[in-house]
């Protein structure tokens, strides 16, 4: 059995790590370079950096900041935000990214997924989907959760896989920042629909929530921000708990 991955996430705005609730009520958290280095030392399996306003502001990801963070890491590093063409990806690779996450650009230009997979390999391509559930239907949003797209979650995730995505990073906008648990039923359905790994995001508040998303939710990785940023749960604590629960993790 492949080990489940624990992934802290750095949501970055204007060079600072921030965190919100349901994609609003954004608050400053800390310096992304220092936080990234700390999580690597703690034994996080990967680190995700998301420039959360780049697409909305129509600009590129802060490559210089990505480079500064990467210098302190010895774990896989995924970068997303403001990516719209292959040149953006090459710049991030040169800056130290191991994988690139695309969200808004993928929906606006699905062929970009094919091009990324062809040029860099599927293992490099993470398609992020921010979706909101209303009346039992999940709709994908872009521009940091600001714009509904009419794209249904499961069909879009399957299309992304068929085009060459190596992983899906699914964030439930309904659960984001609430600390009430992941959308386990939806994540399990995604995992059953796809043959590529699913990274679960949105709603982590306790160690039990990670246990549930890895068992009932069938997720391959669990991503969280605030519980790590505010030192409520450390990565070593979480891994020790999951190991005791019989869940395969890298200790």
Overall residue count recorded for the chain in this entry:
251
Residue among 148, 50, 137, 60 at smallest CA distance from 99: 50
Contact 119, 125 (CB under 8 A): no
Residues with a catalytic annotation lie at 11, 130
Task: Determine the Cα–Cα distance for residues 66 and 122; give it in Å rounded to an integer.
Answer: 21
CA 51 to chain centroid, in Å, comes to 11
Tokens of 163: 């085009």
Contact 61, 69 (CB under 8 A): no
Tokens of 245: 């629960």
């Amino acid at each position: 059995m492949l080990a489940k991955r624990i992934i802290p996430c750095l949501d970055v705005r204007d060079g600072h790590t921030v965190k919100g609730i349901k994609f609003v009520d954004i608050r400053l958290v800390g310096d992304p370079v220092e936080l990234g280095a700390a999580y690597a030392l703690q034994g996080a399996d990967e680190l995700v950096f998301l420039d959360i306003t780049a697409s909305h502001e129509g600009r590129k990801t802060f490559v210089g900041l990505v480079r500064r963070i990467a210098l302190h890491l010895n774990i896989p590093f995924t970068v997303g935000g403001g990516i719209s063409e292959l040149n953006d990806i090459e710049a991030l690779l040169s800056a130290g990214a191991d994988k690139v996450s695309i969200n808004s650009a993928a929906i606006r230009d699905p062929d970009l997924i094919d091009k990324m997979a062809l040029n860099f390999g599927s293992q490099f391509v993470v398609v992020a989907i921010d979706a909101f559930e209303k009346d039992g239907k999940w709709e994908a949003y872009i521009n940091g959760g600001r714009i509904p797209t009419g794209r249904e979650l499961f069909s879009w995730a399957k299309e992304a896989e068929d085009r060459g995505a190596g992983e899906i990073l699914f964030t439930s906008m309904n659960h984001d920042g609430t600390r009430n648990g992941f959308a386990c039923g939806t994540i399990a359905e995604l995992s059953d629909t796809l043959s590529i790994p699913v990274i679960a995001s949105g709603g982590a508040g306790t160690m039990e929530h990670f246990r549930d998303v890895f068992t009932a939710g069938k997720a391959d990785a669990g991503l969280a921000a605030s519980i790590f940023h505010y030192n409520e749960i450390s990565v070593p604590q979480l891994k020790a708990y999951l190991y005791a629960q019989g869940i395969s993790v890298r200790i």
